[in-house]
A and B are shown apart, each in its own frame.
Chain A
Amino acid sequence: MSKGEVKNITFRIKRYDPEKGKTWWQEYKVPVRRGMTLVDVYLYIKENLDPSLAVRYSCRMGICGSCGVVINGKPSLACETQILELGTDVVTVEPLPNYPVVRDLVVDFTGFFEKHRMVKPYLIRRDVEEQENPTREYRMLPEEYDYMVQFSYCIKCGLCYAACPVPAIDSKFLGPQALAQAFRYMIDVRDEGLKERVLVVDSEHGCWRCHFADACSAVCPKGIDPAQGIQLLRRMLISMRLSGVKEKKGSPVMPPMPPETKPKPGVKAPPPRTVKPEEAMKRIVKE
């Protein structure tokens, strides 16, 4: 298809009206150009066809995590899905399953965020004084950082929770997102909150209710692998149970910076550590 060409595509959208308590499928015919995402289609529909359609989006670049919907049966971000790349003449759009629907494509994330909060997704240190008024950073090796970093790329879009087969029957299940976040802090070398998080994760509706359907990893838009994290979390809990380890010591605070040394005679002095813009200007003018 060449650059400016327009293709007419039918959008089959699942709608819900909370006042009347009615659900129905509605079809819209939209001329689609190359590069148009589903968010652009929303805007076209609201502008030209039907202003009553309720949608949710914010950043349009896959970082805010508010535009998750099910497109042609696959949970995806509306802003990152180019319509012509789907390759179908009829595109089906429906709200994410496993969440209560507020209206049309807008779902209620309250329960999802509550589960996220349950695993305490923040750094826990025993020395609160140092944590609140830090002298320097906590030590972390590059390998340790690489091991943990993918789980902290989570944007809480909720696609994994929608794809997972377990929350469909077990509404109390923590879900892939919360468990992956728990794992991210449990493997963080700086963290000391192992005990608190094990209490949440090692419960009747915690990580043991994952059955490795691997649906969460297949839909994550940020390349995170929640299924992998949950399996490794489980391995961690089993080895903790067998070895009896219950606590983890966080990595220490880095030692203070060495004081500036005087240059040896005959050796040229290094340039000053930081140069403010106005000082740099002065020096350039002087030279």
Chain B
Amino acid sequence: MSRRDKVKKLPNKGGLSRHLNPEYPKTEWTAEKWAFILHRLTGLFIIFYLLAHIWVTGHATSPESWSSIMSTLHTYKWLETTGEWLLWGAIVFHGLNGIRLILVEALGWGIGRPHRPIPPYLPYSNRSAQRPLLWLVVALTLIAWIVGGVILYQDVGLISW
């Protein structure tokens, strides 16, 4: 065993816990990094909803079982509707950002073409069409989420004017 192997090294992970630790200076995150984290969280939410949804819709085989599961779900109306509203926002964001990701990751669109680096070194993928597309995704998501929420809460009779 050489002396180099005897040194006790400190594992130093740059994960989320590091960013939440106030000891460290605030790190600037690229917009794409926020989009990645939101995409992941909304995806997790949707997959668990999907499994529950398949189970709930399995009750559609007879009117009795359908009305019983519906009345169970309606026990906490506010909770149910708020969950549905969050789901709507999650689906819109995951879907629209997913379209952007298909364009960028699978088709290589919106990130520029490799070129000889010219000072000042500003990378193309940060400045090309995918960045404004991300802002479009965020704007459309917010609009759809708010409009959908108003329609949803009005429809189930929780708000009215």
Interface size on A, residues (CB 8 A): 58
Q: What CA separation (Å) do A74 and B28 show in the bound complex?
A: 7
Q: What CA separation (Å) do A25 and B104 show in the bound complex?
A: 41
Residues in B whose Cβ lies below 8 Å from that of A228 = 111-112, 114, 123-125
Q: Is A227 part of the contact surface with B, judged by Cβ < 8 Å?
A: yes
Residues in A whose Cβ lies below 8 Å from that of B115 = 146-147, 150
List B residues 78-104 near A (Cβ within 8 Å). Answer: 101, 104
Q: What is the CB-to-nearest-CB distance from A89 to chain B, in angstroms, rounded to a whole number?
A: 13
Q: Is B147 part of the contact surface with A, judged by Cβ < 8 Å?
A: no
Contact B12 A217 (CB under 8 A): no
Residues in B whose Cβ lies below 8 Å from that of A122 = none
7 additional A-B residue pairs with CB within 8 Å, beyond A97-B13, A97-B18, A214-B32: A95-B12, A98-B13, A108-B9, A147-B115, A168-B16, A217-B125, A222-B121
Chain A proximity mask over B31-49: 1 for CB below 8 Å, otherwise 0:
0110011011000000000
Q: What is the CB-to-nearest-CB distance from A121 to chain B, in angstroms, rounded to a whole number?
A: 17
Q: What is the CB-to-nearest-CB distance from B9 to chain A, in angstroms, rounded to a whole number?
A: 4
Contact B12 A225 (CB under 8 A): no
Which residues in A have some Cβ–Cβ distance to B below 8 Å? Answer: 16, 18-19, 21, 23, 25, 72-74, 92, 94-103, 107-108, 146-151, 153, 162-163, 165, 167-169, 187, 210-215, 217-218, 220-225, 227-229, 231-232, 234-235, 238
Q: What CA separation (Å) do A188 and B112 show in the bound complex?
A: 18
Q: What CA separation (Å) do A177 and B108 show in the bound complex?
A: 19
Residues in B whose Cβ lies below 8 Å from that of A73 = 24-28
Residues in B whose Cβ lies below 8 Å from that of A107 = 12
**Quick one: which of B14, B40, B108 contacts A235, CB cutoff 8 A?**
B108
Closest to A238 in B: B106
Contact B121 A92 (CB under 8 A): no
Contact A102 B9 (CB under 8 A): yes
Contact A101 B13 (CB under 8 A): no
Known contacts: A212-B32, A212-B104, A217-B125. The answer to whether A148 contacts B114 by CB under 8 A is yes
* Total CB contacts across the A-B interface at under 8 A: 146
Q: What is the CB-to-nearest-CB distance from A55 to chain B, in angstroms, rounded to a whole number?
A: 16
Known contacts: A72-B25, A74-B27, A74-B28. The answer to whether A168 contacts B114 by CB under 8 A is no
Considering residues B23, B105, B119, which has the most beta carbons from chain A within 10 angstroms of its beta carbon? B105
Contact A225 B27 (CB under 8 A): no
Which residues in B have some Cβ–Cβ distance to A below 8 Å? Answer: 7-16, 18, 23-30, 32-33, 36-37, 39-40, 101, 104-108, 111-119, 121-126
Known contacts: A18-B10, A232-B114. The answer to whether A217 contacts B36 by CB under 8 A is no
Residues in A whose Cβ lies below 8 Å from that of B11 = 100
Residues in B whose Cβ lies below 8 Å from that of A231 = 104-105, 108, 111, 125
Contact B117 A211 (CB under 8 A): no
Contact B121 A234 (CB under 8 A): no
Contact A168 B13 (CB under 8 A): yes
Residues in A whose Cβ lies below 8 Å from that of B39 = 211
**Quick one: which of B9, B36, B113, B121 contacts A101, CB cutoff 8 A?**
B9
Residues in A whose Cβ lies below 8 Å from that of B7 = 18, 102-103
Closest to B106 in A: A238
Contact A224 B117 (CB under 8 A): yes
Q: What is the CB-to-nearest-CB distance from B92 to chain A, in angstroms, rounded to a whole number?
A: 20
Considering residues B36, B37, B107, which has the most beta carbons from chain A within 10 angstroms of its beta carbon? B36
Closest to A235 in B: B108
Q: What CA separation (Å) do A153 and B107 show in the bound complex?
A: 25
Q: What CA separation (Å) do A11 and B24 show in the bound complex?
A: 13
User: Can you pick out 6 interface pairs between chain A and chain B where the beta carbons lie within 8 Å of each other?
Assistant: A73-B25, A92-B24, A97-B12, A100-B10, A146-B115, A232-B111
Q: What is the CB-to-nearest-CB distance from B27 to chain A, in angstroms, rounded to a whole number?
A: 4
Closest to B26 in A: A73
Q: What CA separation (Å) do A238 and B106 show in the bound complex?
A: 7
Closest to B110 in A: A231
